[in-house]
Amino acid sequence: MSNNLLKGKRGIIFGALDENSIAWKTALRVHAEGGAFTLTNAPIAMRMGKINELAKTCGAEIIPADATSEPDLTNLFSKSQEILGGKLDFVLHSIGMSPNIRKGKEYGDMNYDWYLKTLDISALSFHKILQTCEKLDALNEYASVVGLSYIAAQRAYPDYTDMAQAKAMLESIARSYGQRYGTKKKVRVNTISQSPTRTTAGAGISGFDVFFDYAQLMSPLGNASAEDCANYIVVMFSDFTRMVTMQNLMHDGGFSSSGITNDLIERLTK
């Protein structure tokens, strides 16, 4: 069901890889709610995914861009404004990749060049996006920029390794740039800390199934799905949340506030 929450709004969605990704689900919901947008991803990710199918469904144009490249981002935001007919109202940063995790490196045996690449792709790209928007004056007042995070930014998860630092940096950038952008242009910047979600990226983390099952047992409402997250993002893009900024918003079925649950106790005493 559509309520036209985003009718007349324009934006950019980063990171839609395939139908399992949160960015993909978000694009579908934004389209259903009347929003117009361009889609973007790194060229290598576009070759691996199905973004052309999504673009056709949503009537969106694709502009390839490496989110770590300032020239690519300048081109992306300039062209998007031309295509969509004006300044933008929303941006989704759904980008994360760790070469150390992909290569199976343990936290005590990090490749530091790869570590820096993790931070650049997964967190510093958020700052680059915001800085590019500011320099180009690409966002309308009360525009909403959202980045996707995970609770490993605050808690230790053994197999999440350098991505934990990337998510902590992402959330810090949202606070610091949110203060700056809110003061200067009334732009909102937030992160959403999502439940473990069965996406292509998430499934690549060692022990993911255990993360997922444990969070399910610890969450009074259960894990939030990718579709649930897409709905929340739509609300964050809408005018109903125009006074929300600089926040890390927990979207996890209550996991982050639970000490222990009866479901977990029952599982452990079997």
Token pair for residue 27? 């694009």
Distance CA 236, CA 255 (A): 21
Percent share of the chain, pLDDT over 90 = 86
Residue 253, pLDDT > 70, answer: yes
- Computed over its alpha carbons, how large is the radius of gyration of the chain? 18
Q: What is the CATH number of domain 10-268?
A: 3.40.50.720
Residue 1, pLDDT > 80, answer: no
Token pair for residue 119? 């931070």
- Phi/psi for 35 (5° steps) reads -80, 150
The candidate with the shortest Cα–Cα distance to 5, out of 178, 172, 144, is 144
For 118-142, write each residue's pLDDT tens digit: 999 999 999 999 999 999 999 999 9
For 85, other C-beta atoms within 10 Å of its C-beta total 8
For 194, other C-beta atoms within 10 Å of its C-beta total 26
Mean pLDDT in the chain?
95
pTM to 2 decimals? 0.95
**How many C-alpha atoms does 103 have within 13 Å on its Cβ side?**
15
The three-state secondary structure class of 213 is: helix
For 139-177, write each residue's pLDDT tens digit: 999 999 999 999 999 999 988 999 999 999 999 999 999
The domains of the chain are located at 10-268
Q: Is 199 left (phi over 0), alpha (psi -120 to 50) or beta?
A: beta
